[in-house]
Amino acid sequence: MSVPDYMQCAEDHQTVLVVVQPVGIVPEDQFFRIYKRIASVSQVSVRDSQRLLYIRYRHHYLPENNEWGDFQTHRKVVGLIAVTTCGPAKEWPQTADRFHAQKEVYGATLYDSRLLVFGLQGEIAEQQRTDVAFYPSYDECPDVEKRVEDFVESIFIVLESKRLDRATDKSGDKIPLLCVPFEKKDFVGLDTDSRHYKKRCQGRMRKHVGDLCLQAGMLQDALVHYHMAVELLRGVNDFLWLGAALEGLCSASVIFHYPGGTAGKTAGRKPSISQPADAGKRHRPGAQEVLIDPGALTANGISADTSTEIGRAKNCLSPEDIIEKYKEAISYYGKYKNAGVIELEACVKAVRVLAIQKRAMEASEFLQNAVYINLGQLSEEEKIQRYSILSELYDLIGFHRKSAFFKRVAAMQCVAPTIPEPGWRACYKLLLETLPGYSLSLDPKDFSKGTHRGWAAVQMRLLHELVYASRRMGNPGLSVRHLSFLLQTMLDFLSDQEKKEVTQSLENYTSKCPGGMEVITLPDGLKLPPVPFTKLPIVRSVKLLNLPASLRPHKVKGLLGQNMATASPFIYSPIIMHNRGEERCKKIDFQWVQGDVCEVQLMVYNPMPFELRVENMGLLTSGVEFESLPAALSLPAESGLYPVTLVGVPRTAGNITVNGYHTSVFGVTSDCLLEGLPGVKTSGCLVEVIPSLPRLQLSTSLPRSANTLQPLSKEELSSSVSAQLFNGETQQLAITLENIGTDNIETLELTSKMVSTKEKVFGEFLSWELEEALSHLPLKPGQSVAITVNIQVKLDFSGQENLLQDLNDDGISVTGLPISSPLRQVLKPRAETKAVGSESGKAEYNHIKTLEAVLNFKYSGGAGKVEGYYRELSLGVHVDVEPSVFFTRVSTLPATSTRQCHLLLDIFNSTEHEITVSAKNNQDLVLHGSECQRMAIQVDKFDFESLPQTDQETVRFTSPKQLEEERQHAQGCQINSKLGICWAIPSLRRQGEASVEGVLNQLVLEHLQLAPLQWDVVVNGKPCDCDIITNCKVGDAVTLEVKLTNLSKNAVGPFALTAVPCQDYQNGVQNYDLQDAVTFIGSNTFYIDAVKPKENSICVGALLFLYTGDFYLNIKFQDDSTGRELPLAWFGLPSVHIKALDTPPEAGA
């Protein structure tokens, strides 16, 4: 016997073997249909008996195996069922002959046979025969199972008669010697009368009877016979049959202990109904079973009186003893070279028993023994079968890696070089079955979490073999999938050289069959999930980027309440459970806009030792319609973290979730989802997309600035412009706004904000008129509008201390300059004391100052405006201010009129060019480079009280210092507008204004201010002021009026004034002794009562000149306490100059 039956198990010893074979030409599918129906009758309850007969069916059985039927009766073919197709009646004789020929093959052992004829009709078919059944077709055979049951019962009758014949053979007849095929030649010429020979015959027959009892359903009888056989055969050292007797004993014990069977795959057997009393003792290791006297056999098998059987022999083996007896039996089989198949099958049976007992280590010893059993020259198919069964058995006992090893050996055997047509499909199928044993699966998700399981080197070898097998199968798509899996899951274990080789192979495969994300379904239904390349490149972080500052949407204030309604009033609640999983889904606090390009930044790196080309890399999103704009990138070898920006355009509004990204690497398209990448950092992937908003593009007449406004980042400004102006100069900035979006611009607002506040700016730095631009709204796509912005720089024109020091060091007395001699002195260069090129080497008074401001254009329109959103466009304005002129010193001189004064300005030209300085009603002053001159300007004093007053509400919430600054600013503006000081540089054709706002100190302001008490003196109806000389006739009365106007906020007075005449001889001598020359008509003292605010009071007197001459009237206040509370400057009366003539003055004099 050369072909082992690897599917055998211990309970097969109680089955009878029936062969089912086709005779003639029978369609294979129809044959197996009938075969399955026949095989469904696997156990039959014999009528008139409580016994079950178990049947084992085979459709292919070697006759040489049948020769071992005496050794173990379950190997003997006792029944034959032939299936044939017979059409016309004339074919019947030939069919009958074939059936008889088939019976001849197993004729020596057959108990009975049946022929199932399909398709034959007519007289022959109507004959009633026990051994032949006729059916019209394969579909019309309802009683096949019934026929088979009848057939099995006939077999049982024969079996039972044979059992009884052998069991009751007590005569003195010779017991025949049962032999196995290879023993027959060894027993030729033996002494058949010797006691040893007779014992051998008796022992083998006992064993044979045990087999028959077991098949006939008499378990306890079988145990008794096996025990007797063991004792007899052990005495004569008949080891081969002793092993068989021990194995029979083990099989019977296994059937008793494990009525469900040990095969594992088939359905559990029904427990034997012949031993109902023993059911309670099953599955109890070591239990004392029914004890029977070997000599207590009667004609009916077992003596009815069992009282004498107790304690004589232990018939049923315990589970532990079963294994020991199996070991002993296998050791005996091992003594015989020709019993290799028997030994191998015994090992398999023992392993199945141990698997049920969960004794894996002992089972592995049996299997290890089975591996080394030599069965001679096996065919390739037999080798494949052997290794496959070994693999299944190792899997049965939990040795999964060992099982995978033998499964892989079987797979390699399928494509052995000696096979003319290698079975690559079978090889591939077997290799797939090895994956679990090596901790491999076909799902890359199993390798994304935790540490790597299994031996990477073995796994890589196995994956390479899968790739090769699928290629040889002619399925490049499978090769690409397995190679992608190897590259994705084993990347950390590949050497640099291996990485290059694998990727080259992958590119070769994908050139013929590109890899994708579809699930590959194999013919047997196995599904291969897609393998996204999440490590090519490796992504470490995903960050959704806000739109550029100029495109970011802003919510109109007052419309923010939608999301705030459900917000908690608490800043932080410790009860909230923070879940890391929710971080990825949380909404980001900025918005994207429908129709605008949005960006997501990925930090990636290339783990490969060569440049990695990633093609067609884009975003995977959900929630809104999104147009991804794929990118292609090339990452240098082992690049380290590298930023990659992926872009796309949301086409609808709503909430969008960035789920991941897609790539195409080495010809494999991958969809990489962020939820499958645990190592990726993200600040959230859910963002709101608001409805579309218009877009403005800004262009200017001034050049763009390379400087960034210091407090602001570059991102916050759309653009910036720069200009270089002299202090006081004004320049126009023409701004063109073009609608480059798809929506109308419906609203437009313009505001400005100073950025650098170090320098004090006088006046408005930026000013504009927006009415003209607003008249063009709504601005349609493609249209533009122009806005003119005036840039006016007015910084402090006062000279700093270091400038004054420079002027004084050069020998110029700035403070003591006489008005009559204007200074024209050019400052000498002082290079000998200051290093050229250093910061102090340049003239320190030439410091360029910087002014920076931001123009904000706020605009909206379209669907976004309806939702309450707008956009801002920011233009930075950077102006470098060069000094033009400085006022180094300011002072005042009184004028002849009390309502005027002289303002003295020392003006310094800080440029290298000639400057012309002009003022209202004044001559131009020409200053050369670095020259200082004084300008005297006669100005009317100012009534600062007439300036608009700050309302009480503002005063309450403003600091006194700020109020004072605002008051001074208003005064300075008033003075500045009156002076109108301008400068011009003819050579550069540039001009500007010069402001004295920052130059005027408190003392100068007081001198320039009209006194709150205004005194007017009128002589003969003519006001006296500004060196006006009043003529009068000697002897005529001259009227003198003094008028007081109260401009202060409080009532003033009463006052007493005394008029004292005098003559000035122009030599420093003044004569007050004029009683003879001038006389007053009435008193020379004038009294003025209290004057309320905004009111006036007039006092009138008269005097008489007795001589001709020039006379002066000094009007003095009498020293009283009321008047002294007020400042002295409030009592400035104009001087009165009267010329007394003999003749009356001519008209117009």
- C-alpha separations of 469 from 423, 431, 518 in Å: 10, 9, 21
**Residue 113 pLDDT exceeds 90:** yes
Cα separation, 155 vs 113, whole angstroms: 9
**Residue 303 pLDDT exceeds 60:** no
Lowest mean pLDDT among 6-10, 225-229, 298-302, 336-340: 298-302
Cα separation, 1138 vs 1149, whole angstroms: 13
Q: pLDDT category, 757, cuts 50, 70, 90?
A: low
Q: What are the tens digits of pLDDT across the range 278-291?
A: 333 333 333 333 33
SS3 80: strand
pLDDT at 273: 35
- Please state the rounded mean pLDDT for residues 337-342: 91
Q: How far apart are the first and last CA of the chain?
A: 165
Q: pLDDT category, 313, cuts 50, 70, 90?
A: very low
Q: pLDDT category, 271, cuts 50, 70, 90?
A: very low
Cα separation, 878 vs 1126, whole angstroms: 50
- Please state the rounded mean pLDDT for residues 472-496: 91
Cα separation, 633 vs 651, whole angstroms: 25
SS3 839: coil
pLDDT at 276: 34
**Residue 1008 pLDDT exceeds 80:** no
**Residue 358 pLDDT exceeds 90:** yes
pLDDT at 1120: 55
Q: pLDDT category, 397, cuts 50, 70, 90?
A: very high
pLDDT at 85: 93
pLDDT at 1088: 78
**Residue 306 pLDDT exceeds 90:** no
pLDDT at 457: 92
**Residue 363 pLDDT exceeds 70:** yes
834 Cβ neighbours under 8 A, 6+ residues apart: 840, 841
- Please state the rounded mean pLDDT for residues 266-286: 38
**Best CA proximity match to 347, nearest among 382, 378, 390, 399:** 390
Cα separation, 610 vs 507, whole angstroms: 14
Cα separation, 461 vs 457, whole angstroms: 6
- Other CB atoms within 10 Å distance of the CB of residue 977: 9
- φ, ψ (nearest 5 deg) of residue 903: -100, 120
pLDDT at 482: 93
Sheet (strand 1037-1046) strand order: 1022-1023, 1013-1019, 1037-1046, 1096-1105, 1078-1081
pLDDT at 714: 55
Q: What are the tens digits of pLDDT across the range 507-553?
A: 999 998 998 989 999 888 889 999 999 988 999 999 999 998 888 89
pLDDT at 336: 92
SS3 632: strand
pLDDT at 952: 61
Structural tokens at position 701 = 């007449």
277 Cβ neighbours under 8 A, 6+ residues apart: none
pLDDT at 425: 92
Q: What are the tens digits of pLDDT across the range 705-746?
A: 766 666 565 556 778 888 889 888 898 889 999 989 888 889
691: left (phi over 0), alpha (psi -120 to 50) or beta: beta
**Best CA proximity match to 540, nearest among 607, 468, 625:** 607
Q: What are the tens digits of pLDDT across the range 1025-1042?
A: 766 788 888 888 888 888
The predicted model scores a pTM of 0.69
pLDDT at 852: 86
**Residue 298 pLDDT exceeds 90:** no
Lowest mean pLDDT among 399-413, 720-734, 965-979, 1078-1092: 965-979
How much of the chain, in percent, has pLDDT values that exceed 90? 36
- Please state the rounded mean pLDDT for residues 132-140: 90
Structural tokens at position 901 = 């004064």
How many residues appear in the chain? 1149
Q: pLDDT category, 589, cuts 50, 70, 90?
A: confident
Q: What are the tens digits of pLDDT across the range 426-462?
A: 999 999 999 999 999 888 888 877 788 888 999 999 9
The per-residue pLDDT of the chain, averaged, comes to 81
Cα separation, 372 vs 366, whole angstroms: 10
**Residue 200 pLDDT exceeds 70:** yes
Q: What are the tens digits of pLDDT across the range 162-174?
A: 998 887 765 446 7
Cα separation, 345 vs 373, whole angstroms: 11
pLDDT at 570: 55
- Please state the rounded mean pLDDT for residues 68-92: 92
**Best CA proximity match to 344, nearest among 355, 357, 330, 354:** 330
Q: Which residue has the higher pLDDT, 819 or 685?
A: 685
- Please state the rounded mean pLDDT for residues 678-696: 87
Lowest mean pLDDT among 356-360, 810-814, 861-865: 810-814
Q: Which residue has the higher pLDDT, 231 or 87?
A: 231
Mutual orientation of helices 360-371 and 340-357 as an angle, nearest 10°?
160
- C-alpha separations of 413 from 40, 406, 437, 466, 741 in Å: 34, 10, 19, 15, 70
**Residue 577 pLDDT exceeds 90:** no
Q: Which residue has the higher pLDDT, 816 or 315?
A: 315
